[in-house]
């Protein structure tokens, strides 16, 4: 795919945008951006909502379709490989009296602990250092994370889900990133937005453990 169209997909992965916003972010003429968007629409990778303004013509806000999301980096092969490895190591006793959902949640939590790796540290590291480790682990896992301060505190936003289509069908998959963040940060990790609820991406409110709990 042409480089400018890939850039548009990456920008729309982070947030919905108008032609003017994309034009400014990319340093391209609006007419050029529109041509790229026309091609992406034709390929069913982007769509738009029409937003009415007080004056003038309505404005189009563009966003990724599910096909657009799937066109960006995903890790289904990694997920399948790790899951099969975990399943093959389970005994009949470990699988007995467990529902499929319970078993999946357990496996994803175990996979998350392994992915957390050295980021779990020795327990004495600062929250800032742990946050740095968490961001690195998420980047390596293709979650495309960003941090932002808000009225509710520190929010960690995941702009990409490397397991998106599977996570949309099976909520147990969401145990993975939640458990990994909890293991690394060692503090409070609350998911307040989720793709399963129709949100553009999953978000977590994160905070350090109270000093008395350290």
Per-residue pLDDT of the chain (214 residues; tens, 9 = 90+): 679 999 999 999 999 999 999 999 999 999 999 999 999 999 999 999 998 877 778 889 999 999 999 999 899 998 899 889 888 888 888 777 778 788 888 888 888 888 887 555 556 788 899 999 999 999 998 999 999 998 888 999 999 999 999 999 988 898 899 999 999 998 889 999 999 998 889 999 999 876 554 4
Containing structural domain, residue 134 = 76-213
d(CA 76, CA 143): 13
Does pTM surpass 0.85? Answer: no
Asked if residue 101 and residue 60 are part of one domain, the reply reads: no
Query: 28: domain CATH number?
Result: 1.10.10.10
Burial of 113 (0-12, 13-18, 19+ CB in 10 A): middle
H or E element in which residue 50 lies = strand 46-51
d(CA 126, CA 128): 5
d(CA 190, CA 84): 29
Asked if residue 172 and residue 80 are part of one domain, the reply reads: yes
Domain count of the fold of the chain: 2
Q: What is the biggest distance separating any 2 CA atoms in the chain, rounded to whole angstroms?
A: 68
Asked if residue 92 and residue 49 are part of one domain, the reply reads: no
């Amino acid at each position: 795919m042409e480089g400018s169209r890939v850039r548009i997909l990456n920008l729309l992965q982070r947030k919905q945008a108008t032609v003017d916003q994309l034009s400014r972010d990319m340093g391209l003429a609006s007419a050029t951006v529109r041509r790229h968007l026309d091609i992406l629409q034709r390929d069913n990778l982007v769509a738009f909502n029409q937003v009415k303004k007080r004056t003038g013509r309505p404005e189009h806000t563009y966003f990724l379709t599910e096909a657009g999301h799937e066109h960006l980096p995903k890790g289904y092969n990694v997920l399948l490989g790790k899951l099969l490895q975990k399943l093959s190591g389970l005994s009949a006793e470990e699988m007995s009296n467990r529902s499929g959902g319970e078993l999946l949640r357990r496996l994803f939590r175990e996979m998350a602990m392994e992915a957390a790796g050295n980021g779990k540290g020795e327990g004495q590291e600062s929250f800032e250092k742990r946050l740095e480790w968490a961001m690195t682990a998420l980047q390596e896992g293709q979650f495309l994370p960003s941090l932002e301060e808000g009225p509710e505190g520190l929010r960690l936003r995941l702009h990409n889900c490397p397991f998106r289509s599977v996570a949309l069908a099976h909520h147990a998959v969401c145990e993975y990133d939640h458990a990994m963040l909890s293991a690394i940060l060692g503090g409070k990790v609350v998911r307040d937005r989720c793709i399963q609820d129709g949100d553009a991406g999953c978000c977590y409110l994160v905070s350090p453990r109270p000093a008395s709990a350290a």
